[in-house]
A and B are shown apart, each in its own frame.
Chain A
Amino acid sequence: MKKIWISLIILIIVISFSACSKENQETQVNGKNDAEKIFRIPDFNSVDLNGNEVSNDFFASNNLTLVNVWTTTCPSCLGEIPALQEIEEKYIDKGVRVLGILADGEVEKGKVYISQKDAQYINILPTESLITGFLDGIMYVPTALLVDNTGAMIGEIMVGAKSTEEFSKLIDGILE
């Protein structure tokens, strides 16, 4: 009987230690620790789904960029593609564009879904800097955020698929 208690206590200690050491230092993009520092998307040099080079200079060429993190296995993400395309069309003249980041890097599948919905906005693949400085801290997909021309976040992280109306309201509010 005593042996069982001792071995159970040892089990708890061992598991706590082993679990602690496996944890990565994740960038806190959202969550309570980030209250003071404004999050900024790290500099990157990536390619879009067709192989064209895209870097963080993309932010500088827009007033606002709607960054959307998605994967090819997430039904909500795929359902959001038409709304994002509508935003791209509606606001491109006002210097607001959409940048999708395909977090699972599945280029071929991504291209199929994008063309299925006739989406024209740019989707890039993850890079080392994007992963360690941004994507590792993303808990859920789809996650969207608005950034200014330096890549700094404006407003809050948005989790879950949003509609064209919801995005429009946010963008209109900032553009004023």
Chain B
Amino acid sequence: MDNLKRRFVQLLSAILGNSYFKGFRDGVIYRGKLKSVCFPGLNCYSCPGAYTSCPIGSLQAITAGIKHQISFYVLGFLMMIGTIGGRFVCGWICPFGLLQEILYKTPLKKIRMKKVFNYGKYIFLIVFVLLLPILLTDEFGLGSPYFCKYICPAGTLEAGIPLAITNMAIRGAIGILYYWKLLILGVFIYFSMKISRPFCRAVCPLGAIYALFNPISFYKMDVDLCKCIKCDLCQKNCPVDIKIYENFNSPECVRCGKCVSVCPTNAIKSGFKNGRSKSDEKNLDIVNYSNNCN
């Protein structure tokens, strides 16, 4: 039932964020006032259906521009979302996360991703979104949005393909870069069927930013270590493969709540305050650290 609620929110978010139907019909991009707002998840600015901008695309547009600045507006927005719930966007709002979850349901043999790849998303963020657009400039001093241009499969799926289908002029501009992006999309689709949320864990620069806020967000996960029997059912059902009782608010956690629903002793809770007062918190710390339950 809880997962159904989350699925509903994910679908609603994907549809709302891409409901400019005129864009799909005429092969155009919405360019009205709403475009100055960033979508909290990864949703391409150039998707014909999108009303809002992609925060990662916006960051690159500013770092690649002639002044090579960092957009405080976008970063501030991301920090606000991150402080509220950390990576809950990944689990509840981002349409690309939804897509990976759906793809994972395909009956292919599943493999576990090695933990070292979790660091990949920070490399994509720092190198492709921040450093390269600033440092790798053309003869005019302009950079390029390197993540959008060479990597992002969300852009290919949401924008590249629909625009190529509906817009003849765009079709005329298709070259080798388009085929490269299609290849990346194909690879991503394949791996999403074998591994759970591979893009979220290993590549997504937006997930990398939100991940930094997981340990400090208002919406948090909490585990009552007294109740925990270390059966690892949480990890077995976790889309990002974490042992939550070892790290309650791991940077990987997308706050999907699956662990909460499968825990046999109801040891896991999530929420904004968990109804704990300051004195309760102190007691809980003593309990957890001294392993003294009751």
Q: Please indicate the chain A residues that have their CB under 8 angstroms from the CB of B144 in the complex.
A: 75
**A31 part of interface (Cβ distance < 8 Å):** yes
Q: Choose, from A61-69, A88-96, A119-127, A156-164, the stretch at the interface.
A: A156-164
Q: Please indicate the chain B residues that have their CB under 8 angstroms from the CB of A33 in the complex.
A: 26
Is the pair A12, B138 in contact by a Cβ cutoff of 8 Å? Answer: no
Is the pair B20, A19 in contact by a Cβ cutoff of 8 Å? Answer: yes
Q: Choose, from B72-80, B169-177, B254-262, the stretch at the interface.
A: B169-177
Smallest Cβ-Cβ distance to A15: which chain B residue: B16
Pull 11 A–B residue pairs with CB atoms less than 8 Å apart, ordered by A: A8-B12, A12-B16, A32-B25, A32-B26, A33-B26, A79-B138, A139-B28, A139-B167, A158-B172, A158-B173, A160-B172
**Cα A28 to Cα B166 with chains together (Å):** 14
**Cα A154 to Cα B84 with chains together (Å):** 55
Is the pair B29, A139 in contact by a Cβ cutoff of 8 Å? Answer: yes
Q: Please indicate the chain B residues that have their CB under 8 angstroms from the CB of A157 in the complex.
A: 168-169
B63 to chain A, nearest CB (A): 13
Is the pair B172, A156 in contact by a Cβ cutoff of 8 Å? Answer: yes
Is the pair A156, B173 in contact by a Cβ cutoff of 8 Å? Answer: no
**A55 part of interface (Cβ distance < 8 Å):** no
A65 to chain B, nearest CB (A): 19
- Please give me the 10 A-B residue pairs with the lowest Cβ-Cβ distance, nearest first: A160-B173, A159-B169, A22-B32, A31-B26, A75-B142, A157-B169, A78-B140, A159-B173, A30-B169, A22-B33
Given contacts A79-B138, A116-B140, contact A159 B29 (CB under 8 A): no
Smallest Cβ-Cβ distance to A142: which chain B residue: B173
Q: Type the 1/0 row for A148-176, where 1 means its CB is closer than 8 Å to any CB of B.
A: 00000000111110000000000000000
A142 to chain B, nearest CB (A): 10
Q: Type the 1/0 row for A23-51, where 1 means its CB is closer than 8 Å to any CB of B.
A: 11010101111000000000000000000
Question: Which of B22, B34, B138 is close to A22, meaning CB atoms less than 8 Å apart?
Answer: B34
A27 to chain B, nearest CB (A): 11
Given contacts A31-B27, A79-B138, contact A143 B169 (CB under 8 A): yes
A84 to chain B, nearest CB (A): 15
A interface with B by C-beta (< 8 Å) = 8, 12, 15-16, 19, 22-24, 26, 28, 30-33, 72-73, 75, 78-79, 109, 113, 116, 139-140, 143, 156-160
**Cα A159 to Cα B174 with chains together (Å):** 10
A153 to chain B, nearest CB (A): 12
**B3 part of interface (Cβ distance < 8 Å):** no
Question: Which of B51, B138, B170 is close to A19, meaning CB atoms less than 8 Å apart?
Answer: B51
**B19 part of interface (Cβ distance < 8 Å):** yes
**Cα A75 to Cα B142 with chains together (Å):** 6
**B233 part of interface (Cβ distance < 8 Å):** no
Q: In residues 6-34 of chain B, which contact A (Cβ within 8 Å)?
A: 12, 16, 19-20, 22, 25-30, 32-34
Given contacts A28-B26, A75-B138, contact A159 B172 (CB under 8 A): yes
**Cα A160 to Cα B174 with chains together (Å):** 9
**B65 part of interface (Cβ distance < 8 Å):** yes
Q: What 18 additional pairs, Cβ within 8 angstroms, besides A30-B167, A140-B170?
A: A8-B12, A12-B12, A15-B16, A19-B32, A22-B33, A31-B26, A31-B28, A32-B25, A32-B27, A75-B142, A75-B143, A79-B138, A109-B66, A156-B168, A157-B168, A159-B172, A160-B170, A160-B172
A143 to chain B, nearest CB (A): 7
**Cα A125 to Cα B232 with chains together (Å):** 66
**Cα A22 to Cα B20 with chains together (Å):** 12
**Cα A1 to Cα B26 with chains together (Å):** 38
Q: In residues 168-216 of chain B, which contact A (Cβ within 8 Å)?
A: 168-170, 172-173
